[in-house]
Amino acid sequence: MAVSWEDQGLILSVRRHGEYDAIVSLLTENNGRYAGLVKAGASRRMKGALQPGNIIKASWRARLDEHLGTMSAELVRSHSAEVMSDPGRLAALSSACALIDALLPERQHQPEIERGTIAFLRSLGTEGWAARYARWELDVLRELGFGLDLTACAGTGSIENLVFVSPKSGRAVSAEAGAPYANRLLALPAFLREQTEASDADVLSALALTGHFFETHVFSSQRQPMPAARSRLIERLAK
């Protein structure tokens, strides 16, 4: 008996399959991360709609649940087109989609990550997008079970002057307690704890922080590198 569903989802990646078709990875509202074969997905007619970051209405069908399945796609919103003229914003969109595609297990409902990612993409056109991207990565870590404790100093319990994070425990450390070990601790930019403005240097420090825990807790165990799209975003922010 065939299995099927209809859902709305965010395109994470598109991989050409044969001459005309494409395999699309999708983060859906109700079914988690799913992949499907879109017939003629590599055609000129479909290429604009099937871009990472776009929202589509999808119908998925397979003879057995464990099969790849075929997918039809109808464009709902083109986030990629909205940021195409801004290389920085486009890099952030690409990085978010690539991270989610690499991090999430298939076919497991992830409502908070799905909602948070959509909210971030909707806000890309406004100022402060780089800082919001860094906060989004922090939220993804938390939803994956690797949340950082940035509320109080791990050594003293103080809530003042928190400027470091322990690379082992993921807990905040105050300037005073961390001074003797500063070269072994990660920087904690203030904007990750408070609603303050963030410079590009602050955002890069935040991404070094989240990147460490992605590497340590996720990618090293999977024996795969961080997505290249994330590295390109960091390079662009560093310019």
* Residue 122: count of CB within 10 angstroms of its CB: 13
**Gap between the Cα atoms of 46 and 7, Å rounded:** 19
pLDDT class for 221, splitting at 50, 70, 90? confident
Of residues 100, 124, 95, 122, the one with CA closest to residue 113: 100
With contact defined as beta carbons under 8 Å apart, do 214 and 141 qualify? yes
Residue 111 within any structural domain of the chain: yes
Phi then psi dihedrals of residue 180, to 5 deg: -70, -20
pLDDT class for 1, splitting at 50, 70, 90? low
* pLDDT value for 154: 96
Residue 156 within any structural domain of the chain: no
For residues 41 and 98, state if they share a domain: no
Owning domain of residue 123 = 85-150+188-238
Residue 49: which CATH number?
A: 2.40.50.140
Tell whether the model's pLDDT for residue 167 goes beyond 80: yes
Q: What is the mean pLDDT of residues 192-211?
A: 95
**Gap between the Cα atoms of 99 and 93, Å rounded:** 10
With contact defined as beta carbons under 8 Å apart, do 56 and 76 qualify? yes
CA-based Rg of the chain, rounded to a whole angstrom? 20
Q: Write out pLDDT tens, residues 120-134.
A: 999 999 999 999 999
Q: Write out pLDDT tens, residues 62-74.
A: 998 889 999 999 9
